[in-house]
Structure 1
Amino acid sequence: MTEPDLKLNLPNWLGYIMTITGVTGFAGVILLYACQCKLIYPANYPEGSREEVAVPSDYGMNYIEETLRTRDGVHLKSYIILQPNEDEAKRRPTILYFHANAGNMGHRLPIAKQFYNRYKCNVVMLSYRGYGKSDGSPNEKGLKIDSQTMLDYVREHPILRTTPLVAYGQSIGGAVAIDLVSRNEDSFSGLMLENTFLSMPKVIPHVMPFLKYATFLCHQHWYSEKAIKNIVNTPILFLAGAKDELVPPSHMLRLKELSETRAGKVWASFPNGMHNNTCMQPGYFTAIQNYLSTHILKEELGERSGTGYPTTQQVEPKETEDEATVEAGYVDGQIVGEDKENNQSYQLVSGLADEKGQTHNFTVKEVYLDKDD
């Protein structure tokens, strides 16, 4: 007696589809697990990002380039951009800038220039391990060490150690910032987040839909939805692009809802903001200015706020024709200010539009803002 032949009688076309689908799915699973860090941290994009890194002096800012050594022996390149007057530098806020997952810190200097010139902030920024001219290879554990290394440096710096510290993160840089502040909240006076996700497993299905059933293999977690609950005494600014095509806008809204901070939450949404161009939207820098003025800077020099953070005298930003940028636009859909024109052009990490008008990550193009007549 022979054993029955266990065989499915499927149509040839259906068997072909199942075979192709199965092979594609299996390949996707292998890709997600084995090449995960290369997918999440495309440090080589845009082309030349590991060799060419712009410097602050290209944008009229004096700076010191520091090589920071992490506790696991990785050397990181960092820019320390101080206000030119030492006494003023000691009073002004310091922005710890954490960039998105493509490019390097040099691509973000146009935005750093706005913090430096318009708001008279000191700016500290670094290229994560494996980015720009920093050593090593990027991964979640490593980036957390990198951010801690930068904070430790700032806390020992003779000028910066007494300044109010504000963490600013874009996209995955927001996840880095949330993690760092959640572990060192006593060191921070503020946190600003742009287009940040709840967690890596929850954002992968939107970036790579064919892997939505394989997220259990994701070993880069970035659980911002958990870490943000540990931040309870720091005011948070949420800068959300309503047309973000990579991180669902609902992620930012949910982060705001999950936040339990008692120091204030500020929500600024931009109706036409996509993942890479939210920072170019009307009202973006107005929202930042209002947040810094209300939550970081205080009227009386030397006073301390109720949370114990050092405060500084409020200084209204002054414009010149060459440095003027977004002064007005929309915050939460409401017009703020009278002028609606933007007047500067910058080189920023942005998306390259396809034939459908959608922009995608990991490329650099020239972005122009309208000029005043």
Structure 2
Amino acid sequence: MLVAFETKLVYPSPDPSSADWSPKHLAFEDVTFDSSDGTALHGWYFPHGEPERTILFFHGNAEDVSDLGNEMSSLRSEFNANVFVFDYRGYGKSEGSPTEIGVLQDGVAAQRWLAERAGIPADQIVLYGRSLGGGVAVANAATEGASALILDRTFHSMVDVAAGMYPIFPIRWLMRNRYPSHERITVYSGPLLQLHGTADEILPFESGEKLFAASRSKEKTFLRIEGLTHNVPPPPDLYSGMHRLFQTL
């Protein structure tokens, strides 16, 4: 029962049956690929005719690919980029059930698929993660490398955040999905852009600060956004910060 509760808490995936999986107004490639354990995964690839960069997007835990088409299309045009968004196992059209080990395998498989499709080394891809996706992006940056790492309202340690939310339960002893991003990010030394809102009601602002402090990147920027909550679109400050970051790459 505790495992089932944790899964619903960490991975509250949307119902895929109500989604629009064929939006006519968007130009993209519908993609299927396999994770390292053979789990079939699904994503949308938004190629650019003359790309200046390639972005891999890791979504949050209450989103799937079908929610993100307009945003990914905007990323493509805003930054002259190839953009790939995919669903972790158990999300959208991807098969399987999510666990930390499985989701991290999916992240690596997505980066390697994108590197092959775009014809570039995996460590030349920009990794962009939001919320839960930030934890996956950090893990990818540590193992696969990245041209740059962009984090939007993510956490330093999922188990620490959960323990703060449910102090009466022995979370630190029982939780399986731990996502120790504050440890993993120390392996990555490339450019980092991180944003967090002071009014985030899901992932505390202080958690984002701890993650940023743990980073050993020499080129890192933290965007503190007053009053920003969690489940709202990214503010213009993020895209402005991304433009400044990309000018340095």
TM-score normalised by length of structure 1: 0.63
Q: Displacement of 1:34 after TM fit?
A: 4.4
Seen in structure 2, the aligned counterparts of structure 1 residues 278 and 252 have a Cα distance that, compared at 3 Å, is farther
Q: Which has the larger radius of gyration?
A: 1
1:192 aligned partner: 150
Which one-letter code corresponds to 1:226 in the other structure?
E
Distance 1:198 1:285 in 2: 22
Identify the residue that residue 255 of structure 1 maps to in structure 2.
211
Per the TM alignment, residue 190 of structure 1 is displaced from its structure 2 partner at its CA by 0.5
1:96 aligns with 2:56: yes
**Cα distance, 1:102 vs. partner?**
0.9
- Structure 1 residues 219 and 266: alpha-carbon distance in aligned structure 2, compared to 1, 3 A threshold: same
Corresponding residue number in structure 2 for 1:227: 184
State the partner residue of 2:238. Answer: 284
- Structure 1: tracts of 5 or more residues without a match: 1-29, 297-373
Superposition deviation, residue 209 in structure 1 = 4.1
**Identity %, equivalent residues:** 27
- What does 1:58-73 correspond to in 2, within 5 Å? 58=24, 60-73=25-38
Q: Call closer, same or farther: CA 1:37–1:118 in 2, change over 3 Å.
A: same
Q: Tell me the CA shift for residue 55 of structure 1.
A: 4.9
After the TM superposition, list the runs of 4 or more consecutive aligned residues in structure 1 that deviate by more than 6 angstroms.
none
Q: Deviations over 1:54-93 (max 9, x none)?
A: 45854x442111111122121111111101x2xx13xx21
From the superposition, tell whether residues 152 and 118 of structure 1 become closer, same or farther in structure 2 (CA, over 3 Å). Answer: same
1:275 & 1:208 partners in 2: Cα distance? 19
Using the TM superposition, give the Cα deviation of residue 172 of structure 1 relative to its aligned residue in structure 2, in angstroms: 0.7
Q: Does 1:129 align with 2:86?
A: no
Equivalent position of 2:41 in the other structure? 76
Query: How many pairs align?
Result: 248
Deviation at 1:239, TM superposition (A): 1.0
Aligned to 1:269: 224
Distance of aligned partners of 1:239 and 1:54 in 2 relative to their CA distance in 1, 3 Å threshold? farther
More helix by share: 2
After superposition, residues 209-358 of structure 1 pair within 5 angstroms as: 209-211=167-169, 213-232=170-189, 234-262=190-218, 264-277=219-232, 279=234, 281-293=235-247, 295-296=248-249
Alignment partner for residue 183 of structure 1, among 143, 150, 160? 143
Give how far 1:214 is off.
3.2
2:43 partner letter: S
List runs of 5+ in structure 2 lacking aligned partners: none
1:114 shift after superposition: 2.2
Q: Give, in angstroms, the shift of residue 131 of structure 1.
A: 0.3
